[in-house]
Amino acid sequence: MSFRDAIPRRAEATLGFLDSSSWVPALLVRLFVGYFFFETGLGKVQNLDTMAERFMEWGIPAPAFNAALSGFTELIGGALVVVGLFTRLAGIPMVINMAVAVLAVKMKNVTGLDEFVELDEPLYALSFLWLVFAGPGKVSLDHLLFRAWKRKAAGPGR
């Protein structure tokens, strides 16, 4: 085999490996952002009075209700994302939660694109949006449930 032939074969093998390992990024993103939001949601839920005061300071309407909604969204959504259960569905309110945080709180102090891209919340929102579209990957309860459902739908002996 010549050097010229080895490069395309090596590239093909590398791309094949990356394709077969595409579940790894989904798992890592799920574990990271899911745990982070489970933890922050737990903190908010355990301190709802303090969170309601902050929401009131930020000018968010119905601060007690919205603090609880935000906290439980993060707590439950984060837990679901970590285990990969209803990941796509759980990602939707997580994206919305981050969008509200950006628009209602963070944008008040942003004067340009440089400051915007340095915010954490848009990156979290994009991570959840990616999970909504890409799904949780093979190492998830969603994947296991979908495989079981497909087997059951195929019927016995198939």
Q: Is 135 inside a domain boundary?
A: yes
Q: Is 88 inside a domain boundary?
A: yes
Q: Is 150 inside a domain boundary?
A: yes
CA 60 to CA 70: how far, in whole Å? 12
Q: Is 128 inside a domain boundary?
A: yes
pLDDT, residue 2, reads 72
pLDDT, residue 14, reads 87
Q: What is the mean pLDDT of residues 6-27?
A: 88
Residue 67 has pLDDT above 80, yes or no: yes
pLDDT, residue 154, reads 85
Residue 158 has pLDDT above 60, yes or no: no
Could you count the other beta carbons within 10 Å of the beta carbon of residue 126?
12
Q: How far is CA 123 from CA 63, 110, 130, 148, in A?
A: 25, 15, 10, 33
Residue 60 has pLDDT above 80, yes or no: yes
Instruction: Give the count of domains, the chain.
Output: 1
pTM of the model: 0.87
Q: Is 10 inside a domain boundary?
A: no
Could you count the other beta carbons within 10 Å of the beta carbon of residue 99?
14
First to last CA, the chain: 44
Domain of 64, in residue numbers: 23-154
pLDDT, residue 5, reads 75
Q: Is 17 inside a domain boundary?
A: no
